[in-house]
Amino acid sequence: MLGSGRITVLGMTSADRVAETPSVRDLTGVGLATSRLVLREFREADIDAITEACQDGEIERFTMLPVPYRRTHAEKFVREICPSGRAAGTDAAFGVFTADAADTATLVGAVGLHNLAQLDEPAGGSAGIGYWTAPWARRRGYTSEAVGAVCRWGFGEFGLALIRWDAIVGNEGSLKVALRNGFALEGTRRAQLLHRGVRKDLWVGSLLSDEFADCPAR
């Protein structure tokens, strides 16, 4: 999905962030790029597209986003939730866009590394990954490509030992993306998630850094 496997890191470099004090892990301004996609922070101009995408029944069925999803939810996501997670260095949400000119780029989804932890451990840290795809952008490999880019960045930037993944049982699209990027499906946690008042089973999996490097999908 990623061609040569190389990605471009946009914005601040690792050296720039290390030089900062005291927020050495401030992820504000960090973006990624592949041959087809630009992954960047969400902006004010993206709010309407996020709102539209999140009306989709599959996103409602398989995520924890509010239902009904209103523009005010997208506003809070863009203005508060994403910036605070990046500034704290614990969460990095990327909007995924086609690599077109800025005025024609299309939102195709979102991918995020969440709960970055134990980054100072010699054995490596850990994080979780989450993603959704806009209904108009499915079955084109965009999300697999974006997830691959984010995993490569996470392993390379933070020396992560593993990245965790989970999905509500039945979310075949999420499972396919995970498997294409080398995640191992470890099993099912029964009634693990309270989802809109109903207990749901979760598929759970993980990806180790050496497994990702050896994954033939890219």
Q: Is residue 110 part of a domain?
A: yes
The residue ranking higher by pLDDT, 215 or 147, is: 147
Q: How confident is the model at residue 16 (pLDDT cuts 50, 70, 90)?
A: very low
Q: Is residue 105 part of a domain?
A: yes
Q: Is residue 192 part of a domain?
A: no
Q: Is residue 214 part of a domain?
A: no
Q: Is residue 218 part of a domain?
A: no
Rounded CA-CA distance 39/70 in Å is 24
Q: Is residue 140 part of a domain?
A: yes
Rounded CA-CA distance 114/140 in Å is 25
> Over pLDDT 70: what percentage of the chain?
85
> Over pLDDT 90: what percentage of the chain?
81
Q: How confident is the model at residue 100 (pLDDT cuts 50, 70, 90)?
A: confident
* Digit-coded pLDDT (tens) for 196-209: 999 999 999 999 99
Residue 79's CATH number = 3.40.630.30
Model confidence at 18: pLDDT above 70: no
In this structure, of 24-28, 75-79, 135-139, the range with the lowest mean pLDDT score is 24-28
* Digit-coded pLDDT (tens) for 132-168: 999 999 999 999 999 999 999 999 999 999 999 999 9
Over residues 51-71, mean pLDDT: 97
Q: How confident is the model at residue 11 (pLDDT cuts 50, 70, 90)?
A: low
Q: Is residue 181 part of a domain?
A: no
CB 4 within 8 A of CB 147: no
Rounded CA-CA distance 33/55 in Å is 27
Model confidence at 7: pLDDT above 70: no
Q: Is residue 216 part of a domain?
A: no
Q: How far is CA 186 from CA 9, 168, 174, in A?
A: 31, 14, 15
Full domain range(s) for residue 81: 8-161
Total domains in the chain come to: 1
Q: Give residue 77's pLDDT.
A: 98
Over residues 27-44, mean pLDDT: 96
Over residues 73-93, mean pLDDT: 97
Q: Give residue 217's pLDDT.
A: 53
Q: What is the pTM of this model?
A: 0.87
Q: Give residue 17's pLDDT.
A: 43
Over residues 28-53, mean pLDDT: 96
Residue 196 CB-density burial (10 A; 0-12 exposed, 13-18 middle, 19+ buried): exposed
